[in-house]
Structure 1
């Protein structure tokens, strides 16, 4: 399946004309390296351009491809201020605004292969293994090359895959971009992925990296304007080019990438690291008086919400910055050392899909956590409100599901730590001004050691309706406990109703058990979702049911969940019967030690009454 030679363009109208001379003939310098800010002369305005080639393409072939693409983009986009052109082996992208170091995943171009594989299950398992091994190599490739290629046996088939980002991205941005295009053969401006069973496309020919070139100043190195009052006819063109040696995007080719955390080797902490942590803790400390003034002495009018562990207030610092302040209850149960350890943990979690911790305050019995302010309240205020949820169409809801999944993957696998959230729910998903979600409230989070897979506690904390049975009944938790909670969140987003208060006529059902028994999309989906693909929604529900299977080992990881959500070409397993821990009544927090035995028996007896009929699915529909 060779990619078609047709260009795919993202165009915006511009009054002025971009000429062919705007793109210099020598796209690659004599060294053939990527330059993040090269400057050449042109006419009238400033243009930012990235030219990129496949990572294994020789330098001369790269130059030829980019020259041809420059001519094509001139012919096709002569009146546009922004464009992307994908061809077989390279791409040209330009804009009148800076595009360097910025993740861009649209427009996307998908390619499909209609050929069948011998064993889909074996193929999908091998694909995940291969992509997991390539992700770290590509994202960690440095400022000259973010590219990886490899192959994996899949029974009678062999999978060949390439993964690539533009090298101007950071390691984390590259990983985030690749997760966004997860699961499909896809081209995007900042990253791409392709996998095939045909090895002819994946010729593992890579040139060695030459020394990095000296970077030119975009403005200072441009020739001065000609005399005679024609200074407005000068255009500065900022060029970023990548050749085979500097590997940028996998162009014209599709790339499927998934994120897998690179294993970090344990090492001893040295004295300097301890001093750094102490310094970091001091820099995060806020004065209690400052926070009291910012919140009008913790006025009720500033109260944003209240939970089992404290009250959240809105505040405004003297510099005008808006903050959210969580004032922990006096019976929170943490000592000063434990509280500071939690602060240090949260301070190390930096991701666009997580609410950012700004600092903390200790004053007598008062313990405060200061976060960035996220203006649009929490997700539950929208999806459970009959009027507000009408503003969330299916595209926006699906985006929320995907972004939360990426945030959870970061916690589980892609940060330097492995964090179990333990309280993932709609009220802990905050929405920013663009309605993009951020995961919040890490008061119950637990840090796992290297290679630790599960833990046990006799103090179960969390929220009824979201807790996995093995955690609620036995105190056992792992990344799969968060996966269970994520499934509940998916179903609530789809239905617009709470898991423990799903209404069917005059009756109240548990949403997860109802989906398992009935599996009729029209009875589950929120009526306010008027235009959406029933197949896509059904697939989301199907994936959700895989996340609540009784056998913890059968539940997918967040890595696999993202893969399944992104790729419709991956065959979904038939979910086994879940073990539901049913608690009737309103959602409530749990923070005490219980006697489990009677609850275990009640849960088991209830689950025995659930339908046990066999399932056969060819389309991704729930039971």
Structure 2
């Protein structure tokens, strides 16, 4: 079960010897699966170490619950004096621990009523910001009961602006390929009835691989059905790729695959229905964009970042999306973003950093230069696309059709010019004039960092998420972004081409699956 979990973290006390910590972790990794069989999430607290695993991202999230207390049965007669002494010690230690670097740790000893001597130790994980570490310690201290020898242990206190409640442990289900997902297969007749025989009235949109329909199952559940084009040479490959990938992915910022259908020439993918269409429907419309406040846009940016972080680092497989763009970001009823369309995605080995292909697929404007020109792709290719998305959300204009008054410019060059000349307000959508300028400036800086010409100069999503949350300062200063497409006309179509031949626009594309 431990091998099936997606995220694991451990922590030792600073005052514990390394060998004692290793022994503790070794024992914990053996005992925890025995005590929590078939669970996706578990935490074990020990005297010398703490270990936790989960199927969801636990990095970048501060959580003080669930918690655990241990104490002896003794008590003190002068509880007020005990509390005052403990609080004095705690107040002096909190700032020391919070401002720590490698170890956010502090320890004190002092005389206390009825005790003779009082020993206090506090510690946060080192990636916690000073403020969040201080807040976490304050929350834990507030729950300590007035007894002797008490010890409080929350989960590892990672960062978050608004920590989500931990999900209940559930059994693990593993999907290793199409052959093992028979339980997800729908009958064609069921889907045909749900979509009213794929009627035009049920059409949600058309993409490079076919038409998407809205449907309703007999139990009332709404679904979205992607019907792959029958004449697409890549239909079967795309279908198998997307089923293989998406069936394994579970994250609140990814569209959830409910099932599929294989019958004759029909290839159907059945997804959860996401009611508020795609991001481009709102931010690029001069009327609808007025209803998308900065608060909503910032929420969308951070949600996309969390989804990408999951794909790159926290999922069972390392996945490169390769076609991240505004039309592939769907919005749910609460305007939470969900990354969709994994037809072009590539699986990486967990220790693999980059790949190469002779066939380029994606959408120009969002494609990193090393991928568009040389066929080289990595997680940094997705980071580039994410940077473009940030600048589009801020400006309300497309990378491919950016206008400065009567002039048509390339969005990245325009953003860089205004950043360099300290006229960045020119870039921001006028409907956001009353929004917090500090957050928007931070996002512009992060966006420019993500679209650096050299992939090595772009941050990883493990750095981008805390940057967006304001927990990683100072943010590096960006250099001039990629300029390989700075022209007045940039194709916005889905494209495929061989890097040995000329570029051709095409509504079809190719999926490629790295062998494992």
Q: TM range, normalised to the smaller chain?
A: 0.5 to 0.7
DSSP-derived class of the 2:400 partner: helix
Counterpart of 1:588 (choices 481, 493, 505) is: 493
Q: Which residue of 2 aligns with 1:186?
A: 132
Change (3 A) 1:150 1:403: farther
* CA distance, structure 1, for counterparts of residue 66 and residue 194 of structure 2: 52
Task: Give the whole-Å Cα distance in 2 for the aligned partners of 1:462 and 1:470.
Answer: 13
Equivalent residue for 2:202, pick from 302, 310, 317: 302
How far is the alpha carbon of 1:244 from its aligned partner?
Answer: 6.3
Taking the aligned partners of 2:318 and 2:468, their CA distance within structure 1 comes to 22
Structure 1 pair 562–62 and aligned structure 2 pair: CA distance change class (3 A): farther
Pick from 512, 515, 521 the counterpart of residue 412 of structure 2: 512
- Shift in Å, 1:89: 11
RMSD: 4.1
* Match of residue 153 from structure 2: 247
**Are 2:359 and 2:498, in contact at CA under 8 Å, matched by a contact in 1?**
yes
- Residue 546 of structure 1 corresponds to 449
CA distance in 2, matches of 1:449, 1:411: 12
Aligned to 1:314: 214
**Aligned counterparts, 1:150-299, within 5 A:** 162-163=124-125, 185-186=131-132, 192=136, 247-248=153-154, 256=159, 280-299=180-199
Deviation of 1:335 after TM superposition, in Å, equals 6.8
1:464 aligns with 2:327: no
Q: Distance in 2 between matches of 1:61 and 1:469?
A: 65
Q: Deviations over 1:31-72 (max 9, x none)?
A: x9xxxxxxxxxxxxxxxxx997987x86369999xx99xx9x
Seen in structure 2, the aligned counterparts of structure 1 residues 363 and 512 have a Cα distance that, compared at 3 Å, is same
Instruction: Give the C-alpha shift of residue 365 in structure 1.
Output: 2.1
1:393 corresponds to:
293
TM superposition shift of 1:423: 0.7
- Structure 2: distance between partners of 1:439 and 1:377: 12
Which residue of 325, 330, 347 maps to 2:247? 347
CA distance in 1, matches of 2:404, 2:467: 29
Sort the Cα spacing of 1:433 and 1:413 in 2 relative to 1 into closer, same or farther, 3 A: same
What is the CA–CA distance in structure 2 between the aligned matches of 1:89 and 1:431, rounded to whole Å? 48
* Secondary structure in structure 1 of the residue aligned to 2:260: strand
Gaps of 5+ in 2: 1-46, 48-62, 107-121, 142-148, 162-172, 505-516
1:481 aligns with 2:493: no
Structure 1 residue runs of 5 or longer lacking an equivalent are 1-31, 33-49, 72-86, 91-110, 118-122, 131-148, 152-159, 165-177, 195-200, 203-242, 259-271, 600-623
Give the distance between the partners of 1:338 and 1:366, measured in 2 at CA: 13
Cα offset, 1:521, TM superposition: 2.2
Instruction: Summarize the Cα distance change of 1:503–1:293 in structure 2 as closer, same or farther, 3 Å threshold.
Output: same
Q: Which whole-Å CA distance do the structure 2 matches of 1:345 and 1:598 have between them?
A: 28
- Correspondence for 1:405: 305
> Aligned partners of 1:534, 1:58: CA distance in 2, in Å?
46
- CA deviation string 1:150-191 (max 9, x = no partner): 89xxxxxxxx96249xxxxxxxxxxxxx9xxx75632799xx
1:186–1:456 CA distance, 2 compared to 1 (3 A): same
Residues 317 and 375 (structure 1), Cα distance of their counterparts in 2 relative to 1, 3 Å cut: same
Residues of 2 paired with 1:361 and 1:193: CA distance? 51
Is the Cα–Cα contact under 8 Å of residues 418 and 427 in structure 2 kept in the other structure? no
- Provide the C-alpha distance between the structure 1 equivalents of 2:66 and 2:182, rounded to a whole number of angstroms: 46
- Quick check: 1:536 aligned with 2:439? yes
CA contact (8 A) 1:285 1:359 kept: yes
The separation in 2 between residues aligned to 1:464 and 1:457, in whole angstroms, is 16
Contact 2:225/2:268 (CA < 8 Å) preserved in 1? yes
Is the 8 Å Cα contact of residues 184 and 566 (structure 1) preserved in structure 2? no
Change in CA separation of 1:341 and 1:314 when aligned onto 2, cut-off 3 Å: same
Q: How far did residue 288 of structure 1 move?
A: 1.2
TM-score by length of 2: 0.67
Local SS of the residue matching 1:186: helix
TM-score normalised to structure 1 length: 0.56
Per the alignment, residue 356 of structure 1 pairs with: 256
* CA distances 1:539-576 after superposition (whole Å, capped 9, x unpaired): 11111111111221111000101121112660122212
